[in-house]
Amino acid sequence: MVNPTWEERDLPVLRAALSIIEESDHGQARIEEIQRQTGFDEKTVQRSLQALVDGVFFTSVIETDWGIHGVGRPTAPARQAVGLWPTPEGLADRLVQAMSAAADREPDEEKRGWLRRTADWLGTAGRDVAVDVTAAVINRQISGAA
């Protein structure tokens, strides 16, 4: 049986790689740096990087005869996976929380009721709508930034 690797191996390697890339002057994370930051051995980091590269988390890969030497240029999904960039689901949750908080602060009873009902709807039946709207906003911001 194959064990799941995301939580225990791949996510820590992805976090380390993005952290190194964000702090580097050269925009790359070398395998030795990832090993140091994660405490994983070379074989574990190699396997994880191969899975992450295959999973399109990086657009730049430095390879040698013996395997991956480093990675660079993380993709939007890589940044979202480690929490550097928002996800549509996360923003939808924040929208519901903000609506609930606004309802708690609203002194007008009628407005408070509308805010609560809207928050309840966005958190349940309207969740897909909220996720679609926030996805459109994120996609517009990402494509507008390029």
Supply the CATH number for residue 16's domain.
Answer: 1.10.10.10
130 contacts 87 by C-beta, under 8 angstroms: no
DSSP category for residue 106 = -
Last residue in a domain, options 81, 98, 121: 81
Residue numbers of the domain that contains 10: 6-81
Give CA–CA dist 121/112, Å, rounded: 14
Same domain flag for 10 and 60:
yes
Same domain flag for 41 and 77:
yes
Indicate the Cα dihedral angle 86, 87, 92, 95, nearest 10°: 0
> What per-residue confidence (pLDDT) applies to 146?
47
Task: Tell me: pLDDT of 23 over 70.
Answer: yes
Same domain flag for 76 and 131:
no
Residue 118 lies in a domain: yes
pLDDT, greater one: 92 or 143: 92
Residue 49 lies in a domain: yes
Taking only the tens place, the pLDDT of each residue in 30-83 is 999 999 999 999 999 999 999 999 878 999 999 988 889 999 999 988 998 898
Taking only the tens place, the pLDDT of each residue in 84-120 is 888 888 888 888 999 999 999 999 999 999 999 999 9
Give CA–CA dist 31/28, Å, rounded: 10
Which residues, listed in sequence order, are joined to residue 63 by a DSSP beta bridge? 68
Give CA–CA dist 11/2, Å, rounded: 17
Last residue in a domain, options 81, 110, 128: 81
pTM of the shown model: 0.68
Same domain flag for 76 and 10:
yes
Q: What percent of the chain has pLDDT over 90?
A: 53
